[in-house]
Amino acid sequence: MTRGPDTLAERSRRAVWHPCTQMKRHEREPLLAIARAQGPWLFDPDGHRYLDAVSSWWVNLFGHGHPQLRDALAEQLATLDHVMLAGLTHEPVVELSERLAALTGLGHAFYASDGASATEIALKMSAHSWRNRGRPQKCEFVGLAGGYHGETVGALSVTDIALFREAYAPLVRLSAALPSPDTRHAAPGEDAAAHARRCAASLEAYLDQHHERTAALIVEPLVQCAAGFGMHDPEYLRLARALCDRYQVHLICDEIAVGFGRTGTLFAHQQAGIRPDFICLSKGLTGGTLPLSAVLTTDAVYESFYDDLASRGFLHSHSYTGNPLACRAALTVLDLFEQPIDGEPVLAHNRRTAARLTALCEPLNAHPRVRAVRQLGMLWAWDIDDDGVVGFSSAYHLAAREQGLLLRPIGNTLYFMPPYVLDDGALEQLAGGALRALEVALA
């Protein structure tokens, strides 16, 4: 018997170790090869198209193959591809740092290439800043139950997702994980704000005991995406800010997933009217084109490092820190936020898209197996009573593919995090296809 030509999927299984994947899963769930992408659509080699309803793992904002991003990157590539950022500088990194500072009220942008590295940088900067200020005992961190801040060893110390952490527990210095204001965990009859206040009281009790050893609290403002899109009331962030001030603890806002308009404002923490001590950005920062992350902080933190002694400096680097191509992509994304879509400012356009998709999702919301319907900005989530269906997430993913949709539930949480460029046809396909896929996956 002769063997046919290997498909790309088969070659991939042999040559590529895929991320966040038990590779054996692909015995039953074939890898999907993608040949090209345009707007919100992914195309397989046979020309079938799939709506990228998870923004390719939460990174894409304005669709794939955006002509402005493509042109800006081509021009940057022809001008300056890459240069080291220690001792040298360049226009894209300076301009991006200035613009991010103007947008956030924080500055001194420090760059890396992915979200987990941004977490590492914020944690190291926070503890080192306290050390430089004569308080080296402030070197512990606190996060929230279900928090996700990346999967490198340092980031895992503040990531409270057992599946990602258990095998590495001996390698990780675990941080405390305090009660999460995720409204799904509210007591019966307790509203979101009351639940937020109760969780803030736990934070207060913790800090009252441990503030002398605590450098920083790290939170995902408004939505804990990896925990299954747990959403909370902004009141929690206001109270956490006040407690961090009172107990001299840094507040780190991890906006890696929720930044760049996902929650309806450019940054999620803005809905609480607070200013954190650190902001971590990545994912949408380059609109889904190139890896880049940034950490922004206060003048006070920056000044605590500013000294004649090298050892008081922040001696951290990555080879591609401040890569000009990635910075140019990020600058173009900021430009795109200033340009109307269909005649409307981006966030206003998104509000209309969101209202339309929310209305189209009414039949899905009403499905008898759907629980905890929630939506914020351009994020939608539903918990599915899967009644113990083994492998619901995989079954759903395959059923959604049949509907021309890329959807990948987290456990039994189905969610949409689509790019901002969906026309009526795409919205109808998403809402209708998601419901049909649910019926297939539960059957």
Ligand X SMILES: *Cc1c(COP(=O)(O)O)cnc(C)c1O
Q: Which of 41, 130, 148, 260 binds ligand X (CB under 6 A)?
A: 148
**Is 307 part of any known ligand binding site?**
no
Under the criterion CB under 6 A, does residue 254 sit at the interface with ligand X? yes
Q: Which of 85, 158, 215, 225 binds ligand X (CB under 6 A)?
A: 225
Part of the chain binding ligand X (CB under 6 A), chosen from 89-97, 111-119, 374-382, 432-440:
111-119
Residue whose CB is less far from ligand X, 225 or 421: 225
Alpha-carbon distance of 153 to 287, in angstroms, equals 27
Contacts of 1 (CB under 8 A, 6+ apart): none
User: Residue 213 has which token pair?
Assistant: 């050893």
Give the residue closest to ligand X by C-beta: 115
Kindly tell me the burial class for residue 327, based on how many C-beta atoms sit within 10 Å of its own C-beta (0-12, 13-18, 19 or more). buried
Q: Which of residues 265-324 bind ligand X (CB under 6 A)?
A: 282
Q: Is the dihedral of CA 103, 106, 107, 109 positive or negative?
A: negative
Q: Which of 142, 226, 381, 441 binds ligand X (CB under 6 A)?
A: 226
**Is 115 part of any known ligand binding site?**
yes
Kindly tell me the burial class for residue 277, based on how many C-beta atoms sit within 10 Å of its own C-beta (0-12, 13-18, 19 or more). buried
- Residue 109's SS3 state is strand
Count of residues near ligand X by CB under 6 A: 14
Q: Which of 90, 149, 211, 232 binds ligand X (CB under 6 A)?
A: 149
Listed residue (432, 262, 422, 427) closest to 357, CA to CA: 427
Under the criterion CB under 6 A, does residue 150 sit at the interface with ligand X? yes
2-32 burial string, b = 16+ CB within 10 Å, else e?
Answer: eeeeeeeeeebbeeeeeeeeeeeebeebebe
Q: Which of 73, 116, 435, 438 binds ligand X (CB under 6 A)?
A: 116
**Is 149 part of any known ligand binding site?**
no
- Min separation Cβ 236 and ligand X, Å: 16
End-to-end CA separation in angstroms for the chain: 37
Under the criterion CB under 6 A, does residue 158 sit at the interface with ligand X? no
**Is 318 part of any known ligand binding site?**
yes
Instruction: Name the binding residues for substrate.
Output: 57, 148, 283, 317, 408
Which residues would be at the binding site for ligand X (CB under 6 A)? Answer: 114-116, 119, 148-150, 220, 225-226, 254, 256-257, 282
